[in-house]
Amino acid sequence: MASDKQPILIIYTGGTIGMREDPKTKTLSPMKFELIQDEIPELHKLGFEIESVTFNPPIDSANMTPAIWIQLAKTIKTYYSQYDGFVVLHGTDTMAYTASALSYMLENLDKPVIMTGSQLPIGVLRTDGKENIITAIQIAAAKKDGKAIVPEVCIYFSSHLFRGNRTTKEDSQQFSAFTSHHYPSLAIAGVDIKYNYEKINYPRSKGILSINTSVDDNVIVLKIFPGLNQKYFDAILSIPGLKGIILESYGSGNMPTFPWVFEAIRKATLVGIIFMNVSQCPGGKVKMGYYETSRELQEAGVVSGKDITVEAAVTKLMFLLGQNLPFAEVKAYLVQNLSGEIEN
């Protein structure tokens, strides 16, 4: 790059922010990033050297897969030395999954990776996309004493910057689509962008960025509900190749006390299936042993997810299973804080 301006790379994966309505069918489909840039002339006024990479074809985030997480991690690795920060444009539906996955895959990260998108397409008059992109770029470029202010994988949306693996999509109708129930915002953008420095993860020692893209997607999420029957439960546990189950339990980690539930979990654990207990309450935390039902789960070999989000739990389990670690080590790492995803 010949310019002396601060270099920022935008990686356009797809999503609502880059959608355009078909005049005949009235359905939305992705458009080329060059057309998005035409809708935001303000980008030229930011004073940065902004360049872009576009996934071909752009992806509706409902079609997101671990293979695309890997592609995104490799893209960041390829351009890492050339840019001061990265802005990833992504659909909102699975943005928290991708942000969580990247937080595990990108090791020794010391530059911002800011994910954003919009609830309304960029070409719509009332779009929230312009502000989201502009501020995400400013955050990706922000430095203090020559170092990045937010060297993390984050989600910026509707004036709030959240740690990516602490974030979940909460609303499909409001511009404030995302929230972080158990961890405060890393920054709030008003007249000024105010950073919550004490809550930002800073690398202890600057290393060379490496990516670990080994994942195993033999994982499912099982939501507990009244009426859960044994045939349904046993059928899931007998899925060929299944290695991990995220149990979305009640409240602080509770399950039905039917004897067959605990017996089925014990048997599955003995053959190497890992269970992680996550609360289905948006603001809930799992406290294994707090009630008798969760104590029995603990005795059956279920691991506590503590205050982790479902998105961070799914991607963490896939990531750890992909490392080909012994069963006991995977369980041990699940309860450890790898990249700020759970309480210490």
* Tokens encoding 53: 């990479």
Q: Which domains does the chain have, with CATH numbers?
A: 6-211 (3.40.50.1170), 219-334 (3.40.50.40)
Beta-bridge mates of residue 144: 147
Give CA angle at 77 (76, 80), nearest 5°.
75
Active site residues: 16
SS3 282: coil
pTM score, whole prediction: 0.93
Q: Give pLDDT tens digits along the chain (344 positions).
A: 556 789 999 999 988 787 766 677 767 666 666 666 677 778 778 889 999 898 988 888 999 999 999 999 999 999 999 999 999 999 999 999 999 999 999 999 999 999 998 888 777 778 887 889 999 999 999 999 999 999 999 999 989 999 999 999 987 878 778 899 999 999 999 999 999 999 999 987 667 899 999 999 999 999 999 999 999 999 999 999 999 999 999 999 988 889 999 999 999 999 999 999 999 998 889 988 777 767 888 888 999 999 999 999 999 999 999 999 999 999 999 999 999 999 87
φ/ψ of residue 140, rounded to 5: -65, -25
C-alpha 33, offset from chain centre: 23
Gap between the Cα atoms of 100 and 155, Å rounded: 10
Per-residue b or e along 319-331, where b marks 16 or more CB atoms closer than 10 Å to that residue's CB: bbbbeeeeeeebb
Q: Which is nearest to 154 in space by CA: 175, 180, 190?
A: 180
Cβ atoms of 284 and 249 closer than 8 Å: no
